[in-house]
Structure 1
Amino acid sequence: MRSFLSTAVPLVLAAFSATVANAAIVEHWWNITYTTANPDGLKERRVIGVNGTWPPPVVEVTINDTLRIHTHNGLDEPTALHAHGMFQNGTGWMDGPSMVTQCPIPAGGDLTYEFNITQTGSYWIHGHYMGQYMDGLRTPFILHNSPEAYDYDEDIVVPLYDWYHDQSADNLDVFLNQYNPTGAEPVPQSGVIMDSADASFNFVPGKTYRLRLINMSGFSMFYVSIDGHDLDVIEIDGVDTVRKTQKSVYVTAAQRVSVLVTAKNSTDTNYYFRADMDTDMFDVLPEDLEYNIAAPVYYDQSHSNFSSSDDLGMASEFDDLLMNTLVPAAAVEPDHQVNLTIDFQVTTDGINRGMFNEVPYLAPKTPSLNTMLFQGNHSLEKSVYGPQSQAIILNHLDMVEIVLNNLDAGAHPFHLHGHVFQLVARGDGVFDGDRSKVDWVLDNPLQRDTVQVPAESYTIIRFRADNPGAWFFHCHIEWHLESGLAAVMIEAPDVAQQRLTLPQAFQDMCEAGGYSTTGNGAGKDGLDLSGAPNGIYLIYDGFTAKGKGAMAACIIAALIGIGTIIWYAIADPEKKAREIREAKGQ
């Protein structure tokens, strides 16, 4: 069993089975624009679409193709696109998160995203700027293998997501507000299957279907099942897995799961595909929220005979920790450990924010990738990226272990850009460093790019730092990302400077938007970080120097007052009486 290389293992089957001769250039021209839509059938609202239509087109490619998306920003605000789950080896500037790997595309601006397809599986493309994907800027991204690891008759893409009737900017204003001290997230108005309130499936007896379940939510997790049918899991987050039969699976925000479903031989009964929201995530449960959504699975539409429900909902027994990759890879002992404690607290700006290690992420004035490539030896120092850019410096080819201790009462899906990681442990409470108490999964652990960390528990992941660049690591609940629950893995900056050359188009994009192109986190050269985004921290639990001085002054004044009272009390009472009589002329 060979050592784990995060950006190589999932590609082994694809690399040997695909042929370069079949490679193609797949081009899309996207004018990102506002339009209107009503996917839940309850309210039409303004959305962000492509070329004046919504939903954006599904993007499909095959291993070894080259994808080009010629992007024009037709909005009245900046935007950026992220191909979720792509490693972007050698093309880190194409990754998309604003102020991490690129400056956002300004209103009216143009940018072409282009990269080679070296992976296979189920992914999605979404906006990575200020919650825009919750306004509709998201679409499935399917990377076909040739041949696929498993046989099936038909491939069906099944996007799932929560839906809000208000604009994301308005919801963010309510969420990131001093009048929301508990940090209660906006609750969606509905859930949507396949972009429509009228979604349905048509099964032909005896056929086997691959359902690509893609959770494109900004907040919600779904539990998925089909009445009367088994689900055979064969892929998770773009990584082929050992086939395993389940009655239901969960898919949290940004995760993908492919299942094979074999149709029954009879047409006398129809069934329901069920997607149940995880209501534990919601602070309130509105009476009008339909959180258990369903779509009919028709064998014969001429009758309305449906089976009874056997939906497990949130009682699902699915556990991704028990899944294994199809190409075995044992876990390797880590060279470097990163400890990240997850918490939500009110910060010095009066807002309840998410944070790693008591510090919320604030975007720098220069994209972190640009700082890495243009700041020479300073790029090896975390301070150059900005005081609240949450930069974590990683050495080239180190095996990195991340310990995620979740102190929050809610679960969180964490996504690592540029890699898949091994899921090696999960447990209740806080990991205190005692490795003997951990139930490790080391033989052939699951590899994925987004992991759910349950409430008040810990999760441990590992990946090989074999992809020089700047890679965002963040909670994929969009409300939490915007509140600061993020960090940036600054991976092998010395190697990146030797191998990577930032295209001129990305430098021009920064200049067009008024951003720094080559500076540090403050937009300057060197280690002068004055003016960098800073100053939003956990409220100090104790006395500052000024507070201590004020307290000392209060204590001294109190002691003087008490001393005066005591002095008067013990003074000669006869003498005092004479003084009083004399004062009155007696």
Structure 2
Amino acid sequence: MHKPMATTWLLLLRFGLIALFASAAQAAVVEHTFNLGNLSISQLCKPARIITAVNGRLPGPTIEAREGDTVVVHLVNGSPYNMTIHWHGIFQRGTPWADGPAMVTQCPIKPGANYTYRFDVTGQEGTLWWHAHISFLRATVYGALVIRPRGGAKAYPFPTPHREETVILGEWWNANVYDLEQMAFLTGIPAPHADAYTINGKPGDFYNCSHANQTHKFQVQSNETYLLRIINAALNTPLFFKVANHSFTVVGADAAYTTPYETDVVVIAPGQTVDALMVAGAAVGRYYMAASPYDSAIPQGPEFSKTIGTALVEYIGSTGEETPQLPWLPEYTDTDTAFRFLSNLTALVLPGKPTVPLSVDTRMFVTVGLGVSDCQPRQLFCNRSGTVFSSSMNNASFVLPTAVSMLQAHYNNASAGVYTRDFPDRPPVIFDYTADASNNATMQFTNKSTKVKTLRYNETVEMVLQNTRLIAKESHPMHLHGFNFFVLAQGFGNYDAKTAAPQFNLINPQERNTVAVPTGGWAVIRFVANNPGMWFMHCHFDAHLDLGLAMVFEVQDGPTAETSVPPPPADLPLC
């Protein structure tokens, strides 16, 4: 059990004064126009190719707001593809139509069409991000979403940094990612790994034909403190993140403040964000910032590129000619380092902030992992048994509807033919989930379906997420739309309530929207279903999401208009 961090009367006074002044401050409207279109770009010595990007940039524009502001984004789709945007980590209370996942909360925005997303950022502070939520297009359609306190940087519950830097980690493919996704569906074979890792869109110095224009640079002043807003926008790869001769103090994760945590390495799964303070305390010179893959799969496969993406941290006063130092990086399979970082974070308990609910209404035990399913009619490749790779939660492999979005069906009370309300609270078979012996053809098989779990408004849910060994065991980053959840405990092997429950952190568990379930292990999360609508829960490896590692929570309306799903916007796209 973790002990709560002492909260001094000065901290209480500080936040009381901040709340007083913030209540008098007027919220603003933060407005952007996202022009989605083609961008010609050349990387890794390859001829220039066309990617889909927002406002001709990779990454796309950063949205900066203060807590309580209203964000308005006009999306103009000038690309050749259907598009939706997900505002990753935004609760969307009262605005469920703006959440973005295609065919869950909206139909796609067609080429040549436009749609305005409008939502508030109330009760949230920290680093989030936005990305495409259709096909593999989020490989190039993504950007940061920064929410600062009403009182500005001086209101942070940690030492005020001198400067802030956004660090977006990504992946780069030389091939067209839309074509890769289509081929993965048609063949049933997961898409190949990325050709490079990137920092703020650039791969850095350790790839063929790298040069200055392909390495992002951060300039720092000696002895100043920098708040790094680190985002993992990669499609499929957890990453180790380091800066040579520097260390970090983690102060936030997924836009929730954490107890300060000292480390020289950050581990970050796709979908997650980390806020970390870094003091520029090294000798004047140049240092590499580096991102390398954490390959958690057992047995190991060819999924990840064993390469390193880099950026330069260059001190003001350096000659610019010094040979940059490269940090020591963990081994690609270093699960111990990954687990130590991801399991040791705890919440910074602050006045007025949500605390973990102590009573539970619904308990779920959900297996997550890979398997196989029957070949679909359009698929080009089937193995001899007539099956293809698939993935599932509790042996239900998720398929999106095609004619109407799930939220529209929910709002119109017309779920028939769109989804069923029979997502199971338990797997159909109890077995040794993480043992090699469980990996057999019978246990691997799953059926395709569109199943949801229906919850009453304000119901408290506790979910055990259990990895399986079917085909491979690995760390799945599970993301829940519409909510944050508390991570009560994590561990390896098969979950055992008798030994795990007494160790639950019910005092200051970390609060997240994406949890990296330990490879061959489990995580226990808890949340309150106080947000009516249809909320996607899925693996943030897009290769696994496409194969069906997803489900949806249907949260019923509360007793008032304010706690009910509002009518859809007039310009909501139609299928």
Is the partner of 1:111 in helix, strand or coil? strand
Residue 61 of structure 1 and its aligned partner are, at CA, apart by: 1.3
- The 5 A counterparts of 1:76-115 are 76-115=80-119
Counterpart pick for 2:237 among 197, 216, 220: 220
Choose between structure 1 and 2: higher helix proportion. Answer: 1
Whether 1:354 aligns to 2:391 is yes
Residue 448 of structure 1 and its aligned partner are, at CA, apart by: 0.5
Q: TM-score, normalised by structure 2?
A: 0.79
Counterpart pick for 1:488 among 538, 552, 562: 552
What's the counterpart of residue 149 of structure 1?
A: 157
Deviations 1:365-400 (A, max 9, x none): 32221222211899997169x982220011221210
What's the counterpart of residue 322 of structure 1?
A: 344
Q: Does the CA-based 8 Å contact 1:32-1:50 persist in structure 2?
A: yes
Is the partner of 1:219 in helix, strand or coil? coil
Residue 254 of structure 1 and its aligned partner are, at CA, apart by: 0.7
What's the counterpart of residue 247 of structure 2?
A: 230
- Structure number with greater Rg is 1
Residue 503 of structure 1 and its aligned partner are, at CA, apart by: 2.6
Is the partner of 1:133 in helix, strand or coil? helix
Q: Does the CA-based 8 Å contact 2:558-2:564 persist in structure 1?
A: no
In structure 2, distance between residues paired with 1:165 and 1:15: 49
Root-mean-square deviation (Å): 2.9
Q: Does the CA-based 8 Å contact 2:483-2:513 persist in structure 1?
A: yes
Q: Does the CA-based 8 Å contact 1:29-1:71 persist in structure 2?
A: yes
Uncovered stretches (5+) of structure 1, i.e. residues with no partner: 3-11, 514-586
What's the counterpart of residue 549 of structure 1?
A: none
- The 5 A counterparts of 1:240-255 are 240-255=257-272
Q: What letter is aligned with 2:465? A: L
Deviations 1:344-383 (A, max 9, x none): 2221113211111112111123222122221189999716
Whether 1:332 aligns to 2:358 is yes
Q: Does the CA-based 8 Å contact 1:279-1:291 persist in structure 2?
A: no
Counterpart pick for 1:207 among 224, 234, 245: 224
Residue 494 of structure 1 and its aligned partner are, at CA, apart by: 6.1
Deviations 1:238-293 (A, max 9, x none): 001111111111011010001101111642x432212111244572278xx56222
Q: Does the CA-based 8 Å contact 1:225-1:311 persist in structure 2?
A: yes
What's the counterpart of residue 509 of structure 2?
A: 445
Residue 19 of structure 1 and its aligned partner are, at CA, apart by: 4.4
Q: Does the CA-based 8 Å contact 1:380-1:393 persist in structure 2?
A: no
In structure 1, distance between residues paired with 2:293 and 2:46: 18
Q: Does the CA-based 8 Å contact 2:356-2:526 persist in structure 1?
A: no
What's the counterpart of residue 518 of structure 1?
A: none
In structure 1, distance between residues paired with 2:116 and 2:419: 30
Q: Does the CA-based 8 Å contact 1:223-1:313 persist in structure 2?
A: no
What's the counterpart of residue 70 of structure 1?
A: 74
Q: Once structures 1 and 2 are overlaid, which stretch shifts more, 198-207 or 91-100?
A: 198-207
Q: TM-score, normalised by structure 1?
A: 0.78
Counterpart pick for 1:382 among 408, 421, 430: 421
In structure 1, distance between residues paired with 2:419 and 2:310: 51
Counterpart pick for 1:271 among 283, 287, 296: 287
Residue 178 of structure 1 and its aligned partner are, at CA, apart by: 4.4
- The 5 A counterparts of 1:491-530 are 491-493=555-557, 499-505=564-570, 509-510=573-574, 513=575
Is the partner of 2:509 in helix, strand or coil? coil
Is the partner of 1:403 in helix, strand or coil? strand
Deviations 1:34-91 (A, max 9, x none): 2222355655322111244444211111122211111111122311111100000011
Residue 175 of structure 1 and its aligned partner are, at CA, apart by: 2.7
In structure 2, distance between residues paired with 1:389 and 1:308: 47
Structure 1 residues 214 and 331, CA gap change in structure 2 (3 angstroms): same
Is the partner of 1:505 in helix, strand or coil? coil
Is the partner of 2:64 in helix, strand or coil? strand
Identity %: 26
Is the partner of 1:343 in helix, strand or coil? strand
In structure 2, distance between residues paired with 1:99 and 1:285: 28
Q: Does the CA-based 8 Å contact 2:290-2:327 persist in structure 1?
A: no
What's the counterpart of residue 478 of structure 1?
A: 542
